[in-house]
Amino acid sequence: MSVYQRLKDLREDSDKSQAEIAKIIGTSQSYYAQYENGKRAIPFDRMVALAKYYNVSLDYLAGFIDTPRKIK
Indicate the pTM of the whole model. Answer: 0.88
pLDDT per position as a tens digit, 16-70? 999 999 999 999 999 999 999 999 999 999 999 999 999 999 999 998 998 887 8
For the chain, list the domains and their CATH numbers.
Answer: 3-62 (1.10.260.40)
pLDDT score of 1:
61
Q: What average pLDDT does this structure show over 1-25?
A: 92
How many H-runs (helices) and E-runs (strands) does the chain carry?
Answer: 5, 0
Q: Is a pLDDT exceeding 90 seen at residue 4? A: no
**CA distances for 23 relative to 16, 59, 65, angstroms:** 11, 23, 27
Split at pLDDT 50, 70, 90, the class of 14 is very high
Give the CA dihedral 41, 42, 43, 48, nearest 10 degrees.
Answer: -160
